[in-house]
Amino acid sequence: MIGKHNIFLIGPMGSGKTAVGKYLARMLDYPFLDSDHEIEQRSGADIPLIFEREGEAGFRRREREVIAELTARPRVVLATGGGAILDADNRRELASRGWVVYLETSITQQAERAGRTSHRPLLHGADPKLRLEELMLAREPLYREIADMRTSTDRRRVRSVAESIAQEYKTCLRQPAASASG
């Protein structure tokens, strides 16, 4: 944990990364960053338009550049897009530069939360539950691979999730580094 003063939130769409991240950042007095928001700000276009014009590959390229930069900043809370972990470079940056929290949530909860918006290009024109199941099948092993902490957000208030993350984070910060000679 030594040197991992950033907190990176990963998980599927609708898991609450942005809401939890904002609350957590206020609690810790860290800046809050959202990789999707940063991509939109830099490109001057929203994510559905980027997907439409550049495809998923173009979006993922932009996402890789933004994550490389944002993870290098000190003492931040960063909410990533649900598919950020698909890229091996992103997984490496996240795992090496911060404390990674996987916000777990059920397909039902994801559908309830993510289905309320047209801002989800990967759900456009598909059966949301079926598509979310497909995405989780591919992504869940990658979320688990780099997570330092996992916590469910199903039927929990943002404050409760943020407080449990902050408590665990502070506990980990106080732990001495593992011996290299182990």
pLDDT computed for residue 74 by the predictor: 93
**Cα–Cα nearest to 133, from 156, 109, 116:** 109
102-142, pLDDT tens digit by residue? 999 998 887 776 655 555 555 555 677 788 888 899 999 99
19-42, pLDDT tens digit by residue? 999 999 999 999 999 999 999 999
- Indicate whether 179 belongs to any domain: no
Helix segments in the chain, DSSP class H:
17-28, 35-43, 47-70, 88-97, 107-114, 128-146, 158-174
pLDDT computed for residue 2 by the predictor: 46
Total count of domains within the chain: 1
**Considering the chain, what is the average pLDDT of its residues?**
88
129-176, pLDDT tens digit by residue? 788 888 899 999 999 999 999 999 988 999 999 999 999 999 988 876
> In Å, what is the CA distance from 164 to each residue of 19, 54, 76?
14, 38, 17
pLDDT computed for residue 68 by the predictor: 97
Which amino acid, residue 122?
Answer: L
CA–CA gap between residue 16 and residue 30 (Å, rounded): 18
- CATH code of the domain covering residue 13: 3.40.50.300
- Indicate whether 180 belongs to any domain: no
pTM of the predicted model, to two decimals?
0.88
- Indicate whether 69 belongs to any domain: yes
Domain ranges, residue 96: 7-174
- Indicate whether 181 belongs to any domain: no
